[in-house]
Amino acid sequence: MSQPATLGFRILPMPARISEDIIQRFQTVVTPHISDNMQRLCGVIGLKPYHHRKKLVGRAITVKVRPGDNLMIHKAIDIAEPGDVIVVDGGGEITQALVGELMQMHAQVRGVAGFVIDGAVRDVAAFYAADFPCYARGNTHRGPFKEGPGEINVPVAIGGLVIEAGDLIVGDEDGLVAVPADRLDALLAAAAAQAQRERQRKEAILKGEDKRGWIDAYLKEKGVIA
């Protein structure tokens, strides 16, 4: 009989794939439209990009580590499939970097789409030079340990949001969101409808035809005399 996995040293099965068609369609969806249509509850807070403009879209491979230790991040890179996003719960600790240039190179060669690190990175210039999508809490020159513990494909908490292995991660200049796999089609439709409404609003604004009466109506309801 096989031994049960040890809590703190576990690698759970890989999540279901997300179709390439879905991935490509989300490439043109901005994060505000995703956030608005998830009641503004599914965004990651407090991480900043360490790359230029390349968009991040891919399936989440989640990693939970002891702050300052990257053993299981190395393993996650080794088992990730092309297009995956390595999402790391490092407890928000930024005194030691969890990834750097060499790990970025390994990940890029394997086809990993990017990193989301609730912790620190280093070799910042290399991330910018490669334009390899990376969002992190901060940066430091101090390196990590490689001893564990750590777990892969378990639920993690990143900037106030619980992310499950298999969620779709979307990152752009406005930030990061995570979409559960069973909501992808619905979110695409809702985001497309919002984009169309906003195009119509922009046209009306440029023509001076955007109706602004709602402001005074709301203020009147609150008892404000204009």
Annotated binding site: 100-103, 122-123
Annotated binding site for substrate: 100-103, 122-123
* Contact of 23 with 58, CB cutoff 8 Å: yes
Task: Please name the residues in contact with 29: beta carbons below 8 A apart, sequence gap of 6 or more.
Answer: 170, 187, 188, 191, 192, 195
Exposed/middle/buried for residue 92 (C-beta within 10 Å: 0-12, 13-18, 19+): middle
For residue 170, the cross-strand partners are 57, 177
Alpha helices in the chain, H assignment, sequence order:
20-26, 31-36, 71-79, 101-110, 124-130, 184-206, 213-221
